[in-house]
Structure 1
Amino acid sequence: MISVDQLRISFGEREIVKGVSFDVAKGDSFGIVGESGSGKSTILRAMAGLNEKWSGRISFNGKDAPLKRPPEFFRHVQMVFQDPFGSLHPRQTIDRILSELLLVHGIDNIEKRISQALEDVALPQAARFRFPHQLSGGQRQRVAIARALIAEPEVLLLDEPTSALDVSVQAEILNLLSDLRAAKNLTYVLVSHNLAVITHLCPRLGVMQFGEMVEVLSAEDLRAGNTKHPHTTELRQLSVSLEEPA
């Protein structure tokens, strides 16, 4: 479903992403983990069509993605951002937020689709006519996921989708995303600095350091400590030490 080959991204003379390559099968989930500034979110933005200054190859379902994406691209590939409050228009109701993509693409059955979208993310129908500030952080992220899903895309690009949420809510959103992927045969690319989040949702992951993907491995090998690159080992050890009780 997704193929990224020798992706390079520069801002001015500084190269941020240095020849990154990976593939994701249809219905699978691939994680990209790394520290802040490693280039992981920059990769996701290029894949989503939000950055046109890249070289290499990005393809979805066997079709190469051009630098400037046509409108129909966004029916098939959607992105969920880190901050649900910042990504939702504060002066629009949830109803308007969810209907906007449908109106832009001329998709019918708006009433039915909005109702189904809210049901898919376990939000009450009463949430439809509220504003984002009237919802909790977890509810807002559910709206953001519903908005991404409402046009029935094949691919979701997830940029730190739980990092702005309370720890108690993070597991709920991750379980929701896992259930939706299975139910709708979606393909995910998930970016996070949190190894626990990545391994919860992704059977395979790539580790970023200084703009390079230094290792690709399975979540099972990561848990078992079967790492090859020193940075992967370092991230794993840090994650384990953070999880240990004080």
Structure 2
Amino acid sequence: MIEVDNLKIQFGDKQVVKGVSFNVEKGGSFGIVGESGSGKSTILRAMAGLNESWSGRIAFDGKDAPLKRTPEFFRSVQMVFQDPFGSLHPRQTIDRILSELLLVHKIDNVEARIKQALSDVALPQTARFRYPHQLSGGQRQRVAIARALIADPQVLLLDEPTSALDVSVQAEILNLLSDLREERNLTYVLVSHNLAVIAHLCPQVGVMQNGIMVEQLSAEDLRAGRTTHPHTTELRELSVTVEEPK
């Protein structure tokens, strides 16, 4: 479903992503982990079409992604951002936020789709006419996920989707994302600095350091400490745990 080959991203004279390659099978989930500034979120933004300063190959479902993406692309590939409060318009109701994508893509059955979208992310229908500030952080992230899913995409790009949430809520969102992927056969790329989050949701992991993907390994090998690159070993040792959230 996803092919990234020799991806390079440069801002001015500085190359921030240096020839990264990875593949994700349909219905699979691939995690990218690394410290701040390692280039992991920059990769995701290029994949999402939010950054045109890249070279190499990015393909979805066998089709090369152009620098300028089409409306069809944005219906098939959606992104969930780190801060749900920042990604939701503060002066729009949840109803308006969810209906906007449907109106842009001229998708019918708006009423039914909004009701189903709220149900899919376990939000009450009463949330529909509230504003983002009237919801908790976890509820806002559920709205962001519902918005991403409402047009039935094939791919979700997840940029630190739980890092702005309380620890008690993080596992709920991760379990929701895991259930949705299985139910809809979605394909995920998840970016996080948290090894526990990556290991919970992604069977395959790529480790970034200074713009280079220095290692790819399974989550099982990550948990067991079967690492080959010193930076992966260091990240694992710095992490409190790589056990799955309860």
TM-score range for the pair, normalised by the shorter chain length: over 0.9
What secondary structure sits across from 2:233 in the alignment?
helix
Q: CA deviation at 1:20?
A: 0.2
**3-state DSSP class of the match of 1:59?**
strand
- Residue 201 of structure 2 is matched in structure 1 by 201
Shift of 1:71: 1.0
- 2:30 alignment partner in structure 1: 30
Q: Which structure 2 residues correspond to residues 86-235 of structure 1 after superposition, within 5 A?
A: 86-235=86-235
Residue 7 of structure 1 corresponds to 7
* 2:31/2:192 contact within 8 Å kept: yes
Classify the secondary structure of the residue corresponding to 1:180: helix
Following the alignment from structure 1 to structure 2, what is the Cα–Cα distance between the partners of residues 241 and 26? 29
Unaligned segments of structure 1, at least 5 residues = none
SS at match of 2:6: strand
Q: What SS class does the counterpart of residue 72 from structure 1 fall into? A: helix
Once the two structures are superposed, residues 66-98 of structure 1 have per-residue CA deviations (whole angstroms, 9 ceiling, x without a partner) of 000011100000000000000000000000000
- Runs ≥4 residues deviating over 4 A: none
How far apart in 2 are the matches of 1:72 and 1:161? 24
**TM-score normalised per structure 2:** 0.98
- Distance in 2, Cα, partners of 1:192 & 1:225: 19
Letter in 1 for 2:189: V
Matches of 2:184 and 2:88 in 1, distance apart? 24
Partner AA of 2:198 in structure 1: I
Aligned length, in residue pairs? 243
Which amino acid letter does the alignment assign opposite residue 213 of structure 1? M
Could you tell me how far apart the structure 2 residues matched to 1:123 and 1:240 are? 31
1:51 and 1:238 mapped to 2: Cα distance?
A: 31
TM-score between both structures, scaled by the size of structure 1: 0.98
In structure 2, distance between residues paired with 1:119 and 1:242: 31
For 2:90, the aligned partner's letter is: P
Give the aligned partner of residue 48 of structure 1. 48
Give the Å deviation of 1:137.
0.2
SS at match of 2:112: helix
Q: Distance in 1 between matches of 2:145 and 2:240?
A: 30
Q: For residues 148-195 of structure 1, give each alpha carbon's deviation from its aligned partner in whole angstroms, at most 9, with x where no partner exists.
A: 000000000000000000000000000000000000000000000000
Given the superposition, is the C-alpha separation of residues 241 and 146 from structure 1 closer, same or farther in structure 2, using an over 3 Å criterion? closer
CA 1:57–1:100: 2 relative to 1, 3 Å: same
How far is the alpha carbon of 1:10 from its aligned partner? 0.5
Q: Does structure 1 retain, via aligned residues, the 8 Å contact 2:223–2:242?
A: no
Q: Is the 8 A contact 2:199 2:242 kept in 1?
A: no
By how many angstroms is 1:240 displaced?
3.8
**Alpha carbons of structure 1 residues 141 and 241: separation in structure 2 relative to 1, 3 Å:** closer
Query: What is the SS of the residue equivalent to 1:18?
Result: strand
Superimposed CA distance per residue, residues 18-41 of structure 1 (whole angstroms, 9 cap, x where no aligned partner): 000000000000000000000000
3-state SS, counterpart of residue 50 of structure 2: coil
**Cα distance between partner residues in 2 of 1:128 and 1:82:** 22
* Structure 1 counterpart of 2:17: 17
Partners of 2:72 and 2:85 in 1: how far apart?
Answer: 26
Contact 2:157 2:190 in 1 (8 A): yes
User: Percent identity of the aligned residues?
Assistant: 84
Task: Give the 3-state SS of the residue equivalent to 1:217 in structure 2.
Answer: strand
Letter in 2 for 1:152: D
Tell me the secondary structure at the aligned position of residue 41 of structure 2. helix
Q: Which amino acid aligns with 2:232?
A: T
Secondary structure, aligned partner of 1:82 = coil
In 1: Cα distance, 2:158 partner to 2:68 partner: 20
